[in-house]
């Protein structure tokens, strides 16, 4: 992990297309500005972690669910 010290108004660049700038520091918090192409997805860490957790949960199949899905599909095919 790279750790930098920056003052308000200072910033840094990631690659050729992302600029991070320190906007304000007050009350133990830091406000940052991010300039990046619109096709880059930018998430707060806690949101990204939640998305990742929900994606992992959605990708896990319970065998009972698969059996039910299979039964429902075979019933639907027989009706045709």
Q: What is the pLDDT of residues 55-77, one digit of tens each?
A: 998 888 778 877 888 888 887 66
Residues 36, 1 share a domain: yes
**pLDDT over threshold 80, residue 6:** yes
Same domain, 72 and 53: yes
If asked whether residues 50 and 31 sit together in one domain, one would say no
The more confident residue out of 63 and 28 is 28
Predicted TM-score (pTM) of this structure? 0.64
What is the distance between the alpha carbons of residues 70 and 54, in angstroms, rounded to a whole number? 24
* Residue pair 25/6 in contact by the 8 Å Cβ criterion: no
pLDDT bracket for residue 11 (50, 70, 90): very high
What is the mean predicted confidence (pLDDT) over 37-66?
91
Q: Are strands 11-14 and 18-26 parallel, antiparallel or unpaired?
A: antiparallel
Residues 35 and 59 in one domain: no
Expressed as residue numbers, the domain containing 50 is 43-80
């Amino acid at each position: 992990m790279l750790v930098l010290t920056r003052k308000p108004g200072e910033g840094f660049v990631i690659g050729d297309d992302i600029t991070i700038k320190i906007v304000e520091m007050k009350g133990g918090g830091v406000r940052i500005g991010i300039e990046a192409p619109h096709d880059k997805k930018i998430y707060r860490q806690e949101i990204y972690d939640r998305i990742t957790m929900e994606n992992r949960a959605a990708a896990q199949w319970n065998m009972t669910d698969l059996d039910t899905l299979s039964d429902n599909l075979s019933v639907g095919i027989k009706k045709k």
